[in-house]
Amino acid sequence: MSPATVADLVATSDPHFFTHQQFATLRQLCVLMMPALDGYPSAVEAGVPEFLDFLVGATPAGRQQSYVAALAGSAPARQVVTGSTDRRHMYVWGLERLESEARRRFAKSFAALTADQADALLAPALTPWMTDHPPRDSFQRFVNVMHLDIRTATMNSAAWSAAAVAAGERAPGIGMYWSPIDPRIERYR
Amino acid sequence: MEKVDVLIVGSGHSGGMAAKVLTGKGIHCLMLNAGPIPDYAKETETVAAYQLPYHGFNMPGRLPNLYQATEFNSNQWVDQQEVPYTFDAEQPYNWVRVRLFGGRSLFWARQSFRFSDFEFRARDIDGTGANWPIRLADLAPYYDQVESIFRVRGRKEGLPQYPDGNFVEDNSPWTGSLQRFNAAAAKAGMAVCKMRTAGGINGLASSINLLLPDAFATGKLEAVPNAVVREITVDKNTGLADGANFLDRHSSREMTVKARVVVLAAGTLESTRLLLNSGLANSSGVLGHHLMDNPYRAGMIASVPEAREGKGRATPGLMGGTAFAPRFRNLGTPATRGKDFVGGYGLIIGSGGDLDPRNFPLYGAALQKKMVGYAGSSFSTEMYGSTLSRYENHVSIDKETVDAWGIPALRISAKYDNNEFNMARDAVDTSAAIAEAAGFEVLTKNYETDPPGRSIHEAGTCRMGDDPKTSVLNKWNQSHDIKNLWVVDAGAFVSTGWQNPTLTLTALSMRASEYLAEQMRQGNV
């Protein structure tokens, strides 16, 4: 079973969107947030750092931003949701923030922190949330959404699915896919 | 040019019901639908997330305002580059559309609740908004028939705010967790009832399998897919509607149809958009105004301690099942008056299942251990809210934006306000308090609803009423201004209630169509 998607093809190369520093921070987050457990692969084994680099890099800026900016916390806006979360801005800001906090508190790069030191930075930001409403605070938002992204990307991966099959369990992330239905020619111009 | 008896624009439940009723009375109908006929066998396949380009994450930038959109189903929704709409960035609106033949009836969640006179008499009860020109008694015979067609499963409860109907009886027992919650709820003045859901046939409860087959069987319905209606045309001499100009979706070839009667069933905002673009039926000035829907996604998640590891686990006797608490606030008595809001909300209550990892501020091995311990112990509630009818929540034509066929787009200006926010706060706090009283551990609460429109229950903008100065339609869904023009979808709604609109709009369409058929028989239209 060797599915080849665009994501898999980029997985073996250098980060495309993040800087090397940001990518190192992201990789370390994957190590901490989703280690291998009970026969299932870790986020790193599932290629999640590379996949998130691909996903975030594919997020468009510009017009998308105005819709998101309106939701990002201006005073009258009360609805704040993940569906339109601007991953590009959030990840870059959040990864940079973690790095600068690590250097400030521990005089080390985030990727070089011990698990306890990293936990001191991450744990206070974790907070229960539900439906489409992650926390409003920028750093909490980044940590909580990033955590969900890492988990989702890991559990949707081919490696995870293979482990599920091997364990005799239901492979997650299977669904009914709709192809483009009777598309207009213009869509492909 | 041949003239059809009735032109129906739209193929969802409201259009499908109009077609069924009218053809059943021998009336020839032409149904135009803007999108294609989907072929499930050809167009769907089972895949794993990792086989998709974004591994199950939405394609970035695609349908960002549709929370129901996933990488799996993105192609079933309207392409927003083909058919854009606009809104002020400060007032986001999630307009969720399907143009496939059958419309949103292909995908709806099946929940089927009657409106009660608390909703039909919204102004009397809430002190704001307007009363409908009809009451439950007027619609009850149609509710009976639609519940039968939809095969609605439910239980008779004897509550005026949750009117009983024509159900496939649901006499299933409550599991232990629901018994505990229901007992605590009763002490708080909240009745907990069985859900009411349309069973449909063979897993589908759509116009295409429940309504249109009867219409096609009469031989009097012709349905045309991929027909985008640009405007309704009017005979200059009589002032009556006389048909429509439409285009072929692919070639953009312009075509015309002449009709004796025009029935709009394109879904609330598309019907209103069509009337606005046609410049018709708006002597009242309220066309486009009083847009409403249901605020969704405020709620709470708890855990039942007795269902956890080491305490007997989540047995089928203890966990499982869905319940519904219908409106228990603002029922016209001092005891039910909401502290700081009017109108009502319902709560959907779910027992069983694992806890979502987001409920725990943990990660890695610690999170895994917690989730294993809490497996199967989830107990949650979510609000089904209502919105007030506000003139300023409205749609208009955006003259600077057109769709792929050059038809001017809709601009939507709507927002929730304190009544909705306070209602959400009450819903979450009340259900959390009841959960705690029942001995559950409340883990997460969310007071924020999703943006307006998210519920896919947009209603109003073409409301019915007895007074032509303050309504677009009369109580038979007939335009006050143009007597051979009908609008039979939820655009006609006067209040939104907390109830999902499909059952009510389908019943209204049935009632309106019978009246229309009789008017045609008498030669009045």
CB-based contact B36 A34, cutoff 8 Å: no
pLDDT tens digit sequence for B140-175: 999 999 999 999 999 999 999 999 999 999 999 999
Q: List alpha helices for chain A, DSSP H.
A: 6-10, 20-33, 48-58, 63-71, 87-106, 115-122, 138-155, 158-166
pLDDT tens digit sequence for B442-493: 999 999 999 999 999 999 999 999 999 999 999 999 999 999 999 999 999 9
* Contact residues for B402 (Cβ-Cβ < 8 A; gap 6+): B408, B409
Which residue reads 């299977």 in tokens?
Answer: A174
pLDDT, position B312 = 62
B64 shares contact with chain A (CB less than 8 Å): yes
Which of the residue ranges B41-45, B219-223, B307-311, B411-415 would you say has the lowest mean pLDDT? B307-311
Cβ-Cβ contacts under 8 Å between A and B: the total is: 193
Q: What is the rounded average pLDDT for all residues in chain B? A: 96
pLDDT, position B314 = 76
Of residues B50, B299, B421, nearest to A156 (C-beta): B50
**Is B391 within 8 Å of B284 (Cβ atoms)?**
no
CB-based contact A74 B365, cutoff 8 Å: no
* Distances, alpha carbon B92 to alpha carbons A83, B66, B85, B95, in Å: 13, 11, 11, 10
pLDDT, position A2 = 43
pLDDT, position A173 = 87
DSSP state of B174: P
Across B388-399, average pLDDT: 97
Across B40-49, average pLDDT: 94
Please determine, for residue B239, whether its predicted confidence score (pLDDT) is greater than 60: yes
Across B243-253, average pLDDT: 96
Q: How far apart are CA B146 and CA A114, in angstroms?
A: 64
Q: How far apart are CA B355 and CA B382, in angstroms?
A: 15
A62 shares contact with chain B (CB less than 8 Å): no
CATH topology of domain B1-151+204-295+393-402+456-525: FAD/NAD(P)-binding domain (3.50.50)
pLDDT, position A82 = 42
Each domain of chain B, given as residue ranges in start order, spans: 1-151+204-295+393-402+456-525, 157-198+296-384+416-451
Q: What pTM did the predictor assign?
A: 0.94
Across B36-60, average pLDDT: 92
User: Cα B268 vs. chain centroid, distance in angstroms?
Assistant: 10
pLDDT, position B18 = 98
pLDDT tens digit sequence for B317-359: 999 999 999 999 999 999 999 999 999 999 999 999 999 999 9
CB-based contact A55 B54, cutoff 8 Å: yes
Across B430-438, average pLDDT: 98
A132 shares contact with chain B (CB less than 8 Å): yes
B41 shares contact with chain A (CB less than 8 Å): no
Selected for mutation to probe chain A from B55, B63, B403, B431 (highest A CB count within 10 Å) is B55
pLDDT tens digit sequence for B492-505: 999 999 999 999 99
pLDDT, position A13 = 61
| Residues pairing with B31 in the sheet | B8, B223
Which residue reads 């744990």 in tokens?
Answer: A123
CB-based contact A7 B53, cutoff 8 Å: yes
**Is B517 within 8 Å of B486 (Cβ atoms)?**
no
* Contact residues for A4 (Cβ-Cβ < 8 A; gap 6+): none
pLDDT tens digit sequence for B352-376: 999 999 999 999 999 999 999 999 9
Tens place of pLDDT per residue across chain A (189 aa): 344 565 665 555 678 899 999 999 999 999 999 999 999 999 999 999 999 999 999 877 643 443 433 333 332 233 333 444 678 999 999 999 999 999 999 999 999 999 999 999 999 999 999 998 999 999 999 999 999 999 999 999 999 999 999 999 988 889 999 999 988 766 654
pLDDT, position A79 = 32
pLDDT, position B150 = 98
* Contact residues for A170 (Cβ-Cβ < 8 A; gap 6+): A164
Q: Is the dihedral of CA B24, B30, B34, B37 positive or negative?
A: positive
DSSP state of B464: B
A35 shares contact with chain B (CB less than 8 Å): yes
Give the angle A97-A98-A99 at the CA atoms, nearest 5°. 90
User: Cα B353 vs. chain centroid, distance in angstroms?
Assistant: 27
- Which chain A residue's Cα is nearest to B42? A179
Phi first, then psi: give them for residue B323, nearest 5 degrees.
-135, 170
* Contact residues for B2 (Cβ-Cβ < 8 A; gap 6+): B258
pLDDT tens digit sequence for B5-44: 999 999 999 999 999 999 999 999 999 999 999 998 999 9
* Distances, alpha carbon B88 to alpha carbons B285, B370, B415, B451, in Å: 22, 43, 10, 13
pLDDT, position B195 = 98
CB-based contact A181 B356, cutoff 8 Å: no
- Which chain A residue's Cα is nearest to B298? A131
* Distances, alpha carbon B450 to alpha carbons B93, B94, B345, B415, B455, in Å: 9, 9, 15, 11, 8
B58: confidence class by pLDDT, cuts 50, 70, 90: confident
pLDDT, position B217 = 98
Selected for mutation to probe chain B from A156, A157, A170 (highest B CB count within 10 Å) is A156
Contacts with A, B 324-353, CB within 8 Å = none
For chain A, the first-to-last Cα distance in angstroms comes to 33
**Is B21 within 8 Å of B517 (Cβ atoms)?**
yes
Across B296-308, average pLDDT: 97
pLDDT, position A83 = 44
